Amino acid sequence: MSAPAGFEELRDLYQEVILDHGRRPRNHFRLDPCDASARGDNPMCGDRVEVFLAFGPEGRIARASFLGRGCAVSQASASLLTETVPGLSPQEAKALSARLREMAKTGARDDSTEALARLSALSGVHEFPSRVKCATLAWHALDAALDGVKEASSE
Amino acid sequence: MMDAAPARLDVARVRQDFPILATTVRGRPLVFLDSGASAQKPRAVIEAMTRCMETAYANVHRGAYRLSELATEAYEAARAAAQRFLGAEHAEEIVFTRNSTEAFNLVAHSFGRGLLQPGQAVLVSEMEHHANLVPWQMLRDAGLGIGLRFVRVTDAGELDLDDLARHLAQGDVGLVSVTHMSNVLGTVTPAAAIARMAHAAGARVMFDGSQAAVHRAVDVRAIGADFYAFTGHKLYGPTGIGVLYGRRELLSAMPPFLGGGDMIETVTLEHSSWAAPPARFEAGTPAIVEAVGLHAAIDYVTALGMEAIEAHERDLVEHASARLAQVKGLSLLGAPQDRGGVFAFALEGVHPHDLATFLDRRGVCVRAGRHCAEPLHARFGLEGGTARASFGLYTTREEIEALAEALDAAREFFA
C-alpha cells in the first residue's frame, strides 16, 4: 500500500527517530536518588516533562531520566535529551540546550558531532511554529534543573 | 440574500457566501472544522462593516451632525436586531460587550456584588468554558461571603439534573450559571427546565449561549432566562462584539461594571450618577463597526432560518456520529441525547497535538487541547486534552468524510 498523500511533508517533523522515541521513550522513569530535577509545563497544551539528573564525582552529568506526558515531539525530545546529556559538564549541557533551541527555531541542522546530528531530527519543528515549544520543553526543564530552579515554563 | 426562510439549507450555495471557503491549503480544499472556536465570515458581514466605515462612520451618541446620527442609528439598529434574535422584550435588555467572557465578568461584578447576598452561592457545572467559571472564582475569592458550587456532569456528558436539584434544595443558591450547549461535548442542556428549577428555588439563572445561539433558535422569554450571553465571532460575525441579555428589572438594579464616558448621567469632580441600562454597562466608545457586522450576521442567519440551520446540523451530527464510530481507535467524549455540531475525541496512540498537525497538512482544521474546559477534561480523565471537530452552517458530509479518512491515515502514520 502506498503512503497516503500528506505523509512526505510530515516526515520533516516526524522523522523516524522522533516517532521511535515518541512511541518508546528511553529513560522514562524517576531517577531516585537524583541530584537535580525540574519540571517543565506548557500551560497552553498541558504537556509536561520532569527531568532528573545525577552527577558524577567530577561534577559531570552521569545519568538523566524523565517523566512526562504529551505529544510525540515533546516526549521524543525529552527521551533524546536523556540519551545525550550524560558525560557533559553543566556548562556543556547548557550550551547544547541553547544549540537545540536555536535549531528548533531556525531549522538549521548541525552535523558537527554525532549527538548534534541525532538531535537535528528536532530541527524539522521550525516549520510548525505552534509546535516549537513541544521540542524545547524538556530542554527548558534541563536548564532549570541545572540552575537549581524547580519549575520551568516553555513560555 | 433570500427573502424567505427555506425549508432546507442549500449548503453549496451558502458556501459561496464565504470567501475563505474557496481557498486551498497546500493544494487541497480547506476543510474548516473549528467553527466552535470562531466561525468564518460571509461576504454580507465583511461588506456591511466596510460600508459602515466608508459611508456612515462617526462616534455614536455624541455628535449633533448627520454622520454621527447615522452611526448611532446603525448601532441601535444592531441592538434591536439582537433583541429580535433572542426574543427579548425590550431593546434596553441588550448590552453590547466585547464577547461572552466580558458578559460573564459583567454579571459576576455587577449582579454578584450588587444583588447577591453574603451566604449565597453561585452554581455552575463541571462542563463550563473557563469564561463561565473563572469570573465566579474571582467573585468567591473577593471576600464577600459568596460561595461557588458545581453541578455534576454524567458519564454521558449531560448535566445531572438530580444533582442540580440537590444543590438548589440547600436554599442558598442565588444564581445558576450554566452552558446552553457545551463547547466540548456538544451537549444541549434543557434550558427551560433548568430555569424553572432555579426560579422555584428562588435563584436567578444565566446561560452561556456562545455555542447554542449559533446552532439553535433561542428565545430567552420561552426559556425564562434572567441573563443570556453570546458572542459575535462564533455567529459568523466579527470579533470584539458580544451580547448580554439581562432582564430589565435586574439590569436596572445593578451597579455599573466599568466606569467612563457614556455610562453616566451627571458627573462632578467628586461624584457621578449612572445612566439607565444598557448605557450604564457600555462605558467608553463601543465597538461600532463590529455591532454593524453583528447585525449583518444576525440578518444573514435569520434569512437562512435558524430552523433550517438546525435541521442541516442535526443531519451532520447524525452522519458524523455514525461515520466517526467506524474510525478504529476513536473514542468520543460524551454521548448526549441532544448534541449540537461539536465532537471532542481521543484517537488511540495519537496525541491530540500530533493529530492536529497531521490533519492540518491535509487541509483539515481541528482544535487540539482542552478547549478552555480543563475541569471537564479532568472529569473524564483526559488531562492531555482531546481533538475537537466543530461544525458550522457551511459544513458538509464530504468534509466529515475527509476528516474520517484523515483520522484513519493518522492512526496508520503514528502506529
Which tens digits make up the pLDDT trace of B90-112? 999 999 999 999 999 999 999 99
Tell me, yes or no, if the two domains B11-42+306-414 and B47-302 fold the same way.
no
Please compute, for residue B211, the number of CA atoms within 13 A of its CA located in the half-sphere on the CB side: 29
Whether residue B1 has pLDDT greater than 50: no
pLDDT in tens, B228-250: 999 999 999 999 999 999 999 99
How many angstroms separate the CA of residue A13 from the nearest CA in chain B? 10
Q: What is the mean pLDDT of residues B194-212?
A: 98
With 0-12 CB in 10 A as exposed, 13-18 as middle and 19+ as buried, what is B210? buried
Whether residue B2 has pLDDT greater than 50: no
The CATH number of the domain covering residues in B11-42+306-414: 3.90.1150.10
Domains of chain A: 7-153 (3.90.1010.10)
Q: Is the dihedral of CA B210, B214, B219, B223 positive or negative?
A: negative
Predicted confidence at residue A150, as pLDDT, reads 72
Residues 24-63 of A with CB under 8 A from B: 44-47
Catalytic residue among B372, B373, B376, B402: B372
Are residues B368 and A74 in contact, defined by beta-carbon separation less than 8 angstroms?
no
Q: Domain ranges in chain B?
A: 11-42+306-414, 47-302
Predicted confidence at residue A153, as pLDDT, reads 61
Predicted confidence at residue A2, as pLDDT, reads 40
Which residues on B lie below 8 Å from A6 (Cβ)?
358, 361-362, 406, 409
pLDDT in tens, B267-314: 999 999 999 999 999 999 999 999 999 999 999 999 999 999 999 999
Are residues B236 and B40 in contact, defined by beta-carbon separation less than 8 angstroms?
yes
Helix H segments across B87-211? 100-114, 134-140, 161-169, 191-200
At CA B181, angle to CA B179 and CA B185, rounded to 5?
Answer: 110
Q: What is the dihedral of CA B160, B118, B220, B261, to 10 degrees?
A: -140
> Which of A130-134, B125-129, B309-313 has the least mean pLDDT?
A130-134
Which residues on A lie below 8 Å from B413 (Cβ)?
7, 10, 14
What cell was used for B386? 482531546
pLDDT level of residue A12 (50, 70, 90 thresholds): confident
Put simply, the answer to whether B413 touches A9 (Cβ < 8 Å) is no
pLDDT in tens, A31-89: 999 999 999 998 777 789 999 999 999 999 999 999 999 999 999 999 999 999 999 99
pLDDT in tens, B46-97: 999 999 999 999 999 877 899 999 999 999 999 999 999 999 999 999 999 9
Put simply, the answer to whether A10 touches B412 (Cβ < 8 Å) is no
Which amino acid, residue B62? R
Predicted confidence at residue B261, as pLDDT, reads 87
Which residues on B lie below 8 Å from A72 (Cβ)?
351, 354, 414
pLDDT level of residue A7 (50, 70, 90 thresholds): low
Which residues on A lie below 8 Å from B362 (Cβ)?
5-6
Answer whether A117 touches B (CB < 8 Å).
Answer: no
Percent of chain A scoring above 90 in pLDDT: 66
Are residues A108 and A102 in contact, defined by beta-carbon separation less than 8 angstroms?
yes
Put simply, the answer to whether B414 touches A45 (Cβ < 8 Å) is no
Among chain B residues, the shortest Cα distance to A69 is held by B384
Put simply, the answer to whether B385 touches A45 (Cβ < 8 Å) is yes
Query: How far apart, in whole angstroms, are the C-alpha atoms of residue B82 and residue B287?
Result: 15
Any catalytic annotation for residue B372? yes
Which residues on A lie below 8 Å from B351 (Cβ)?
70-72
Q: What is the mean pLDDT of chain B?
A: 95
User: pTM of whole model > 0.90?
Assistant: yes
pLDDT in tens, B135-176: 999 999 999 999 999 999 999 999 999 999 999 999 999 999
Fold of B47-302: Aspartate Aminotransferase; domain 2 (3.40.640)
Nearest to A41 by CA among A148, A140, A145: A140
Of B353, B383, B409, the CB nearest to A71: B353
Query: How far apart, in whole angstroms, are the C-alpha atoms of residue A85 and residue B130?
Result: 40
